[in-house]
Amino acid sequence: MLARGRRVLELEAAGIAALAPRLGDDFARACQTLLQCRGRVIVSGIGKSGHVARKIAATFASTGTPAFFVHPAEASHGDLGMVTRDDVFLALSNSGNTEELMAIVPLIKRMGAALILMTGNVESPLAQLADIHLDARVEHEACPLNLAPTTSTTAALALGDALAVALLEARGFSETDFARSHPGGMLGRRLLTRVSDVMRAGPAIPRVTENASLTEALLEITRKRMGMTLVVTATNPDQLLGIFTDGDLRRLLERLTDLGSIQIDSVMTRAPRTLRSDALAVEALRCMDERQITQLAVVDDHRVVGALHLHDLLAAKIA
């Protein structure tokens, strides 16, 4: 079993490797046709090719090329109405003679949509009907009977990825673009979430004035449960002067015992690190990691607008 498993991987790797030198003008034309598509890319196939077609359509859609999957049998019973002359129809068939595709491909050509066929047989009927043919043939399936679609489906999937990535680069598709189509994923959260989305604002911001006592500052830290308080001017509660954290308190206790007469402005950290509210939340996380801190003041145009704790980033699944 171990030997067979290794042999399968070797055969499929060889099948993919053989595709690279065969890419040429047809691949470039397919990319240009897909790039210039004014409608949608419609990907179709049946059986195992259908499963691969679904994945290719999903990869296109998530990387900047609007696409969807249409089942060829359903297309013959009404779903062909999803195809317009402005679309590009990409069909997969290892044999190049799939009956369900043969039934609809002439109609799609008559409609005027561009037709790209990915097959394993350059002499097949479907290959001859294609505006552009992509050669996805493999020498041998990984199945020892040379029957079950294995190497052929892997090769078709890889060729679909090659198209999607070539288009991605041609469009200048960025990480931010990717995040917009993946808002529920980790990358989406990291690239789309701003500090303003997760910070604490208004009455939730811990703050005391510069003339407050240390005791008053500790009460504010306890009330707001952020492990710190901002220190602002007595005349303007939005003007930041400094910060006092529970870490500062521990260090203070190491050298002083009588804390009752201490004023907060004498022990606070002046000019603390701040971030703007429109900064990415992941930037706040990076700042905390670099400085080994767990809290940040959020300041826009010299005005305190929020406070941020590492726990807020954890709750938003940024960390």
Q: How far apart are CA 126 and CA 100, in angstroms?
A: 11
Secondary structure class of 116 (helix, strand, coil)? strand
Per-domain residue ranges of the chain: 2-173, 195-315
Q: Give the integer Cα–Cα distance in Å for 45 and 8.
A: 24
Q: How far is Cα 142 from Cα 122, in angstroms, rounded to an integer? A: 21
Task: For the chain, count helices (H), then strands (E).
Answer: 14, 12
Whole-number Å distance between alpha carbons of 150 and 74 = 25
Residue of 312, 247, 246, 248 whose CA lies nearest to 275: 312
**pLDDT (tens place) for every residue of the chain, 319 residues total:** 999 999 999 999 999 999 999 999 999 999 999 999 999 999 999 999 999 999 999 999 989 999 999 999 999 999 999 999 999 999 999 999 999 999 999 999 999 999 999 999 999 999 999 999 999 999 999 999 999 999 999 999 999 999 999 999 999 988 777 767 766 666 667 777 899 999 999 999 999 999 999 999 999 999 999 999 999 999 999 999 999 999 989 888 888 767 778 899 999 999 899 999 999 998 999 999 999 999 999 999 999 999 999 999 998 888 6
| pLDDT reported for residue 261 | 80
How do residues 146-180 score in pLDDT, each as one tens digit? 999 999 999 999 999 999 999 999 999 887 777 67
Fold of 2-173: Rossmann fold (3.40.50)
Predicted pLDDT of residue 182: 66
CATH class label, 195-315: alpha beta
Q: How many Cα atoms occupy the beta-carbon half-sphere of 267 within 13 Å?
A: 26
**Verdict on whether the full-model pTM lies above 0.75:** no
Distance CA 117, CA 2 (A): 36
Residue 183: per-residue pLDDT: 65
Structure tokens, 54: 């679904």
Query: What pLDDT, on the 0 to 100 scale, is given for residue 257?
Result: 67
Tell me what pLDDT residue 256 has.
74
Token digits of residue 314: 């954890």
From the list 159, 193, 161, 156, the residue with the least C-alpha distance to 176 is 193
What is the token pair recorded at 110? 């008559």
